[in-house]
Amino acid sequence: MGEIFASLALGGLWKSVLGYEYQAGALTVFFSWGAEAWLLLAGVLLGLAATLLLRRLPEGRRLPKTALALTLAFLLLILAVLGFLYGYSGQQTSLQDLSQLLHGNPPPTLGSSRIAIWQEALELGLERPALGSGPDTYQFRSSLIFTRELPGGQMRRTSVDAAHCEYLNLWVNTGLPSMLLFLGLLAAVLLPAARRLRPALLPLLLPALGYAIHALFGISQSLVSPLFYLFLGTLARASRRAKSHMSPDQAA
């Protein structure tokens, strides 16, 4: 778990300290360091410390004081990040959006305008909640248009063809029962696998769980979705086999 946290913080740190600007056909890369970078660096060091400490423990033993200290350190880091974002008054657009979110005023542009897209998707879903409007019809119902200026001064107009949330997308296109059945499928596979967690199940469970989380913010892609269902089916089979090898007390 520490490795995952450290990797996520390191990715955020990399994006925080390195920026780029494209102008007049030239790409300029620049370095910057601020309070956000310090917090992310603390997350990296904390994750690495947790990893090293837990790996040094003798197998089958736990050190409650160490675990408590790490838990408190993670909580303090999270509180520091939230406090920093809550009081942020700088010019960085993404941090401004997160600050407004903590104040209870999520701007429509938050998350590449996902707030605006989700608000419209909810309205579209409520218009035809039972059966939706049909597969791949979202683009014909959405009225959102986004514009941005290209480096050459030209303006690009972009329409919305998906809800950027697979669950909302299912509701709008094929109805609320379709979305609920998909959620039921995920619950029927992922929850039993988590209860019967074994090292052999982790390579299947973690990618499937990651896709389910990513689906909250992304769209279904033809290159990824088939792999997800292969993982999901294999995980369901492996989970049933793990149950058959458990004692009656463990299976209950």
Which 3-state string (H, E, C) describes the chain? Answer: CHHHHHHHHHHHHHHHHEEEEEECCEEEEEECCCHHHHHHHHHHHHHHHHHHHHHHCCCCCCCHHHHHHHHHHHHHHHHHHHHHHHCCCCCCHHHHHHHHHHCCCCCCCHHHHHHHHHHHHHHHHHHCCCCCCCCCCHHHHCCCEEEEECCCCCEEEEECCCCCCHHHHHHHHHCHHHHHHHHHHHHHHHHHHHHCCCHHHHHHHHHHHHHHHHCCCCCCCCCCHHHHHHHHHHHHHHHHHHHHCCCHHHHC
Report the alpha-carbon distance of residue 171 to residue 221 in Å, rounded. 17
Q: Does 138 map to a domain? A: no
Q: What is the pLDDT of residue 89?
A: 79
Q: Does 165 map to a domain? A: no
Q: Identity (one letter) of the amino acid at 234?
A: T
Of the residues 107, 140, 164, the one at which a domain ends: 107
Q: What is the pLDDT of residue 176?
A: 95
How many domains would you assign to the chain? 2
Q: What is the pLDDT of residue 178?
A: 95
**Residues 100 and 183 occupy one common structural domain:** no
Q: Does 48 map to a domain? A: yes
Q: What is the pLDDT of residue 122?
A: 94
Q: What is the pLDDT of residue 138?
A: 92
Report the alpha-carbon distance of residue 96 to residue 116 in Å, rounded. 16
Q: Does 187 map to a domain? A: yes
Q: Does 157 map to a domain? A: no
**Residues 2 and 102 occupy one common structural domain:** yes
**Residues 11 and 89 occupy one common structural domain:** yes
Q: Does 164 map to a domain? A: no
Report the alpha-carbon distance of residue 147 to residue 158 in Å, rounded. 6
Q: Does 137 map to a domain? A: no
Of the residues 71, 88, 107, the one at which a domain ends: 107
Report the alpha-carbon distance of residue 15 to residue 37 in Å, rounded. 9
Nearest CA to 27 out of 18, 17, 39 is that of 18
Q: What is the pLDDT of residue 212?
A: 92
**Residues 84 and 3 occupy one common structural domain:** yes
Q: What is the pLDDT of residue 84?
A: 81
Q: Does 172 map to a domain? A: no
pLDDT mean for each 10 residues of the chain (252 residues) = 63 67 63 70 74 62 62 76 80 76 79 86 94 92 83 78 93 95 95 82 87 89 88 90 61 48
**Residues 100 and 2 occupy one common structural domain:** yes
Q: What is the pLDDT of residue 129?
A: 93
**Residues 195 and 100 occupy one common structural domain:** no
Tell me phi and psi for residue 147, to 5 degrees.
-125, 145
Full residue range of the structural domain in which residue 245 is found? 177-251
Of the residues 92, 107, 122, the one at which a domain ends: 107
**Residues 11 and 99 occupy one common structural domain:** yes
